[in-house]
Amino acid sequence: MTLHLTRQGATLRLRQGRLLLEEEGVEVGSFPARQVRRVAVWGNVRLSTPALVFLLRQGAPVFFLSLEGFLHGVAGAFPDPHPGHLRAQFGAEALPLARAFVVGKLRSGLALLERYSLPEAEEVAQALARAGEAERLASLRGAEGEGSRAYFRGLGRLLAAQGFSGRTRRPPRDPVNAALSYGYALLLGRALVAVRLAGLHPEVGFLHAEGRRSPALALDLMEEFRVPAVDQVVLSAFRRGHLTPDHAGAREGGVYLNEEGRRRLIELVEARLLEEVAHPLGFRKPLGELIEVQAQRLKAALLGRGRYTPFYLRKR
Assigned domain for 65 exists = no
Determine the structural domain holding residue 202 and report its residue range: 83-302
Specify whether the backbone of 304 is left (phi greater than 0), alpha (psi in -120 to 50) or beta. Answer: left
**Residues found in the chain:** 316
What pLDDT, in 10s, does the model give residues 170-191? 889 999 999 999 999 999 999 9
What pLDDT, in 10s, does the model give residues 190-206? 999 999 999 999 999 99
Contact in structure between 38 and 292 (CB atoms under 8 Å): no
Percent of the chain with pLDDT over 70: 99
Tell me, yes or no, whether 52 and 93 share the same domain: no
Residue 169 confidence (pLDDT):
83
CATH code where residue 210 lies: 1.20.120.920
pLDDT band at 233 (very low <50, low <70, confident <90, very high): very high
Residue 218 confidence (pLDDT):
95
Tell me, yes or no, whether 52 and 105 share the same domain: no
Tell me, yes or no, whether 19 and 134 share the same domain: no
Q: Mean pLDDT for the chain?
A: 92
Assigned domain for 124 exists = yes
Number of domains in the chain: 2
pLDDT band at 269 (very low <50, low <70, confident <90, very high): very high
Give the C-alpha separation, 63 to 199, whole Å.
18
Tell me the torsion sign for CA atoms 203, 208, 210, 213: negative
Q: Is 124 exposed, middle or buried (0-12, 13-18, 19+ CB in 10 A)?
A: buried
Residues 6 or more apart in contact with residue 232 via CB below 8 angstroms = 112, 272
Which one has a higher pLDDT value, 69 or 141?
A: 141
pLDDT band at 316 (very low <50, low <70, confident <90, very high): low
